[in-house]
Amino acid sequence: MGDARNSHAAPVSAVRADAVQEFRDAAEHMDSAVLGGPKVWSLTDLAQKSGLSIEDVQDYWRWIGIPNRDPNERMYTDADLGALHELLALSASEHFNETVTRNFVRGLGHMAERLATWQVEAMVDHIGHLRSLDDLDARLAVVDEMPHLMDTLTRQLDHAWKRQLAAVTRRLTVEVAESSDDVDKTRHLPLRRAVGFADIVGFTESTRSMSTDQLARYMQSFETRVRDAVTEAGGRVIKMVGDAVFFAADSVEVGAEVALRVAVPGEIQPVRVSMVWCRVLTRFGDMFGPGVNLASRLAELSQPDEVTVDPHTASLLEATGRYTLDELPEAEIQGMGTMKPVRLRYAPHHYAQNHY
């Protein structure tokens, strides 16, 4: 009977071939809907119409994150050609050299790829649960759904970018005013920041036996909790680093508030948290400097749901009277020598109003 039931079943290879073709057809349809027109131009065409060499046009698409090695393949639309012309005009009017142009384009490409992936994966999760679909069918459904969301998501992106640009420029004006009394600016990294890390305790052991869906929800719960805590305390999430979050704030006091809120025990695994007040260099949407490295090392030394700071940061916080600072045993900090880390807690009279 088993043979009779399956006598008309298609071979697995044929089913997979049909699914692959279905995805390809759906992707072609989405390309046309999202890109606003057919692909009519090749790299050679773009080079001829822009006055650039093929190598320069290839550089542009590599910087965006979408390389193409076949100069004669028709992969590009009128909108692609328009974007290239617009960038050339901007570079000429602002006298950008190649380094500046590359940084602009790579920043856009990197953030756009992350954002597009983030939103598509969110829709896969949503549609899969809403329609009780497996992952493959949910992804196929998303290919059909995303073009309908594009106009709204584009407007939301434009609005969010403008708000973030306003926030960045506002911080710049404050920093310029505060650094006016810095006698020798050439000897220091340019910006003062509170930087810290929140690292999940026992991540590997906790997630080893999780299903894909369970792991996705676990990480979403962690990231949502930390991002909300950081934002509500006045800080910013710089990036996720595996199972850790790298955050920053503009003052040592705000940095302490961020770290302590992140360290409040939650429903998922405990976190180890660190915070350091230091000078940093900001580039490529990231932060660099010895203080960032120190914060990363201190997070490894921190106990679950506790915050560890360095002695310099502790001395600045002690003067506020808001915190209890407990010196810990001397420890070897990889690449930085020995140091006596300090545990940061709210002072008893401030605990009640800050604990939630």
Confidence at residue 9, expressed as pLDDT on a 0 to 100 scale: 42
Confidence at residue 17, expressed as pLDDT on a 0 to 100 scale: 59
Q: Which distant-in-sequence residues (6+ apart) come within 8 Å of 215 by Cβ?
A: 207
Partners of 198 in beta bridges: 245, 273
Confidence at residue 288, expressed as pLDDT on a 0 to 100 scale: 93
Structural domains present in the chain: 14-148 (no CATH), 189-354 (3.30.70.1230)
Collapsed DSSP state (helix, strand, coil) of residue 184: coil
First to last CA, the chain: 63
- Give 22-45 pLDDT, tens digit per residue: 667 766 777 777 887 888 999 999
Q: Are 195 and 280 in contact (CB under 8 A)?
A: yes
Q: Which distant-in-sequence residues (6+ apart) come within 8 Å of 244 by Cβ?
A: 197, 198, 199, 200, 299
For the segment 221-232, the average pLDDT, to the nearest whole number, is: 88
Which tokens belong to 89? 């005009």
Nearest CA-CA partner of 25 in 143, 166, 127, 126:
143
For the ranges 105-109, 178-182, 344-348, the lowest mean pLDDT is seen at 178-182
331-333 and 337-339 beta bridge pairing? antiparallel
How many other C-beta atoms are found inside a 10 Å radius of the C-beta of residue 301?
A: 17
Which tokens belong to 146? 């995303």
The overall pTM is greater than 0.85: no
Confidence at residue 11, expressed as pLDDT on a 0 to 100 scale: 42
Q: Are 241 and 253 in contact (CB under 8 A)?
A: no
Distance of CA 347 to the CA centre of its chain: 33
